[in-house]
Structure 1
Amino acid sequence: MLTPCDTERLTRLSSQQQSLYCLGLLQRMTPNYLLFCQAVELEHDAAFNKLLALFWEGVMHPKTKINFSAQRERFEALIPEPQDYDMYGVYPALDCCVVVDCLFNCLLEATGEEAEQASQTSLASVLSLLELQFGEQTEQQIMDQALVIQELAFQSELLDHIEQLDGSKTSLQALKTLAINQGVSNLGISLDSDNE
């Protein structure tokens, strides 16, 4: 549903820019994972937050030596198995993990398609929630949904921001602030709110 122009822009990003794009989407999707952990009393939230902090550490302080291969192995234990949970929340949590994987690929074995995969995963997460809430809709009805409008606007703003980054700490901090999105995820939920 993203325009081909955006897809082309995503594939033209350098591997470092792609990793920033994946990280931006991941940061925004993180409440979905953390809320799932809370709901099922899964004690993975601290480890997930630590991993997210390491990703930002790698961006803010590129000289810091972080063994992302070892981190990736540890991360495997944090991925929920959908068949183990009889609740919808496992799927947004899993989508979050897919974007983590895209980010690891960027850092360890980039193919140049990671940003596009992360972009589609985040959007698909939104679309699947809307399908659950409203059933099948026409493409126009989907495009008119507030969550879809916000998702496409966020992805576009994130992409603009990354293309204009000058690498300074200030611009990277601004990127992180944008990605945190005031703690509201792509599904419109935040950890300090009970309403989705």
Structure 2
Amino acid sequence: MLTPCDIDRLAQLSSKQQSLYCLALCQRMAPNYLLFCQAVELEHDSDFNKLLSLFWESALHPKTKINFSAQRERFDSLIPDPQSYDMYGVYPALDCCVVVECLFNALLEPTGQEAEQASQTSLASVLSLLELQFGEQTEQEILAQDLVIQELAFQSELLDLIEQLELGKASMQALKTLAANQGVSNLGICLEDNA
């Protein structure tokens, strides 16, 4: 789905740029996680939102000291176990957590593959929803789906923005606005509170 050219570009991002790419995808996928928490009455949403705020705080104010190793340990308790829930929503919530893990890796022990992993996870989340809705489709049918078109367009715009990003406050704010995607997730989910 992502062209080899896109994957090369993702691999060439600095670890700072990789972390921002993961953060933007995580922000966009957040409604999937938060809706799941609401649906099963898991009270993880405020902890998850606090963690997202810390990531943005660190991105917007790089001098702020945040212990992401400690945050990562706390985050483990927020990851839902798919065996415990008999509902589809646990999988998009889990995908969102995978992208958070990519972000932690980019911040703590970067390998240079975090952005690509996050990118593929977000896209796979969209594809699994479409498979659930429509069954198996040809690649041509998949590429014609609105959610796939929007996902690829979003990731392409995000990559362009991050490659040109000045690490100043205004451009970081532009990144945050793009990532928030008007409160609509990669699966088209919108929580009324965020809209």
TM-score bucket of the superposed structures, by smaller chain: over 0.9
How far off its partner does 1:4 sit?
Answer: 0.3
Q: Secondary structure at the match of 2:103?
A: helix
Are 2:176 and 1:176 aligned? Answer: yes
RMSD: 0.7
- One-letter code of the match for 2:36? F
Are 2:59 and 1:55 aligned? Answer: no
- Where structure 1 has 5 or more consecutive residues not aligned to the other structure, the ranges are none
2:125: which partner in 1?
A: 125
Q: Secondary structure at the match of 2:192?
A: coil
Q: Secondary structure at the match of 1:176?
A: helix
- One-letter code of the match for 2:83? Q
- One-letter code of the match for 2:87? M
Distance in 2 between the 1:21 and 1:29 partners? 12
How far off its partner does 1:192 sit?
Answer: 1.3
Distance in 1 between the 2:162 and 2:120 partners? 18
1:99: which partner in 2?
A: 99
How many residue pairs end up in the alignment? 193
1:189: which partner in 2?
A: 189
1:135: which partner in 2?
A: 135
- One-letter code of the match for 1:139? E
How do residues 1-196 of structure 1 correspond to structure 2 at under 5 angstroms? 1-192=1-192
How far off its partner does 1:63 sit?
Answer: 0.4
Q: Secondary structure at the match of 1:110?
A: coil
Distance in 1 between the 2:66 and 2:152 partners? 32
User: TM-score if structure 1 supplies the norm length?
Assistant: 0.98
Q: Which runs of 4 or more aligned residues in structure 1 lie more than 6 Å from their structure 2 counterparts after TM superposition?
A: none
User: Deviations 1:67-124 (Å, cap 9, x if unpaired)?
Assistant: 0000000000000000100000000000000000000000000000000000000000
Distance in 2 between the 1:115 and 1:45 partners? 24
Distance in 2 between the 1:16 and 1:115 partners? 10
User: TM-score if structure 2 supplies the norm length?
Assistant: 0.98
User: Deviations 1:121-173 (Å, cap 9, x if unpaired)?
Assistant: 00000000000000000000000000000000000000000001111100000
- Where structure 2 has 5 or more consecutive residues not aligned to the other structure, the ranges are none
Distance in 1 between the 2:144 and 2:17 partners? 30
Distance in 1 between the 2:134 and 2:104 partners? 34
